[in-house]
Amino acid sequence: MIFRLTLPVLLACLQFSPARSVAEEEGGAPPSLDPRLLRFDSNGNGRLEKAEIPPAVARVFARQEIDHDGDGIITAGEAARLRIPSAANRPKGKGRVSPDVKPNRAAIRPHGEEAQAAGLNPDTLADLDATLQGHVDAGQVAGVVGLVHRDGHRGYLEAFGRQDIEAGIPMPEDAIFRLKSMSKPVVTIAALILYDEGRFTLDEPVAKHLPEWSEPVVLRKNGETEPAKRPITPRMLMTHSSGLYYHLPGDPPFSGMPPRTETTTLAAYSKALAAQPLVFHPGEDYRYGTSIDVLGRYVEAVSGVSLDAFLAERVFTPLGMKDTGFWVPEAKQDRLAQLYARSAQGSLVPARERFPPTRKPSLFMGGAGLCGTAGDYERFCRMLLGGGELDGVRLLKSETVDLVFENHLTGIGKSYGLGGAVDGKGGYAWGGANGTKFWIDRDNRMTAVFMVQTQRYKATTYDDYRRLVLAAAGIADPARGVSGGGFPTR
């Protein structure tokens, strides 16, 4: 497993796995190299050569300019240059409990013509600046990027805090974030491009192109299964009414579901899911889950190309989403925001990932796999605001975009559009498990994007962000545009 190793993680590993040099084993004097680095000194000569240093550790050293003379060797003197953040300076705060966030007025930026052109109140945007920095200061998030577009103008784009606390890297406006479930609307739109071309209908069986779904079964309360009353359709996948689900505590265990590995493909994943029983008959309920992962495989089967290639050619390139994809190339990895979790003491600590986005995956998860920037997602939202068109490029028919904003679950008493939550009043929104959120408000001609990177905890930052954005736009209804949705399971 490969993960982005930051200095505190490295030191934690050293603490639990102390290394002993050749000299120590033989009873002699230990080398003069900093003892925290001894495990990498494979020949015990008291210095680290380039070949001995793992690439992830080398990146940490490079950020702090440890190799002062650039000769590829870390000497004892150079190792002494390591800067370790003290525990007292690490951010505090726990779970969803909002700390005493104090707005930091020193963080206010100028907001003039761009804000006024977008119909946003500059004074309220100044309050937003101060509040977002206050959340950073209080340890709710490491860093945040906020973006608001209204009436054809970008009225707000600001970044606060750190992209990487340990390395001291400020959060840039073009930082790259793990979008998680904000991938779902994008993949849904990709499928609708094929729908517009007449390649399928919303209510035909997906088994027409994915034969593994020709005979779905449903789990009954007594533990037995029965044939599904009706086939799964593309509309059901887009609205999470298929009977597919994310496995949560208390759910029946998957039987025979192979574990995801470094070589698992989307085709194999879809077949494995098809071998599991559904939790309800297709079309009879709503359950958030793997539906749009299967939709991604459906796009592959209908188009004849891999999901990553289809998105790049038919969505990202036409819309100018130059930093969005299923992995972050090496040339852009210096803009990838570090993911943070909470320690037992409430501090923000670098989080680990089983499948980091720093290399091309074999499994293109349509429901959770994309990474991108606030600016890229703004372009996606603007396309929807524009009725399927952006800067002269049409991605979808306007009537298809209307379908996206329509509630397709009225028959079961739920409210959900195609790929995201809707409010029936021109609102469309969703969010991701790592804290990212967006909303679109067609009636007020605006969209807002919110980017953070949190793992398994919910910061209170978004609540203040949304409240102040609505206030800046003069929107009194707190429900306008839906709240941003998102579920912690993905």
Helix 291-303 to helix 266-274 angle (10° resolution) is 120
pLDDT at 251 over 50: yes
Q: In this model, does residue 13 exceed pLDDT 50?
A: no
Q: Burial code of 92-127, b = ≥16 C-beta within 10 A, e = fewer? A: ebeeeeebebebbeebbeebeebbeebbbbbebbbb
Residue 468, helix vs strand vs coil: helix
Specify the pairing of strand 446-451 against strand 393-394: unpaired
Other beta carbons within 10 angstroms of residue 320's beta carbon come to 13
Per-position b or e across 324-347, b if 16+ CB within 10 A of its CB: bbbbbeeebbebbbbbbebeeebb
Pick the closest to residue 182 from 394, 446, 453, 468 (CA basis). Answer: 453
Q: How far apart are CA 15 and CA 150, in angstroms?
A: 51
Region of residue 320 (phi > 0: left; psi between -120 and 50: alpha; otherwise: beta): left
- The whole-angstrom separation of Cα 490 and Cα 434 is 8
- Percentage of the chain with pLDDT > 70? 79
Is 29 a residue whose pLDDT tops 70? no
Give CA angle at 369 (91, 412), nearest 5°. 100
Q: pLDDT higher for 19 or 346? A: 346
3-state secondary structure of 293: helix
The verdict on pTM exceeding 0.85 is no
Phi, psi of 115 (to 5 degrees): -70, -45
**How is residue 335 annotated by DSSP?**
G
What are 446's strand-pairing partners?
A: 150, 441
Residues whose CB falls within 8 Å of the CB of residue 251, separated by 6 or more in sequence, listed in order: 245, 279
Question: Each residue of 431-447: pLDDT tens digit?
Answer: 999 999 999 999 999 99
- Which residues lie below 8 Å from residue 336, measured CB to CB, with a gap of 6+? 4, 175, 176, 328, 357, 358, 371
Interatomic CA distance for residues 192 and 412, integer angstroms: 23
Cβ–Cβ < 8 Å for 287, 280: yes
Run of H or E including 16:
helix 7-16
- From-to residues of CATH 1.10.238 in the chain: 7-84
| 346-385: pLDDT as tens digits | 899 999 998 999 999 999 999 999 999 999 999 999 999 9
pLDDT at 475: 94
Residue 63 has pLDDT above 70, yes or no: no
DSSP 454: B
Helix runs in 197-316, H state only: 234-238, 266-274, 291-303, 307-311
Cα angle vertex 322, ends 319, 323, to 5°?
130
Q: Which CATH number fits domain 7-84: 1.10.238, 1.10.599, 1.10.150, 1.10.246?
A: 1.10.238
Taking only the tens place, the pLDDT of each residue in 160-210 is 999 999 999 999 999 999 999 999 999 999 999 999 999 999 999 999 999
- pLDDT at position 42: 55
Token output for 11: 């030191």
How many whole angstroms from its chain centre is CA 212? Answer: 29
Whole-angstrom distance, CA of residue 160 vs CA of residue 336: 15
Helix H segments across 370-435?
A: 374-385, 398-404
Q: Is the pLDDT of residue 14 over 50?
A: no
CATH 3.50.50.60 is held by the domain 104-490: no
Please provide the size of the chain in residues. Answer: 490
Q: Considering only residues 389 and 81, tell me which one the structure prediction assigns the higher pLDDT.
A: 389
What is the pLDDT of the chain when averaged over all its residues? Answer: 85
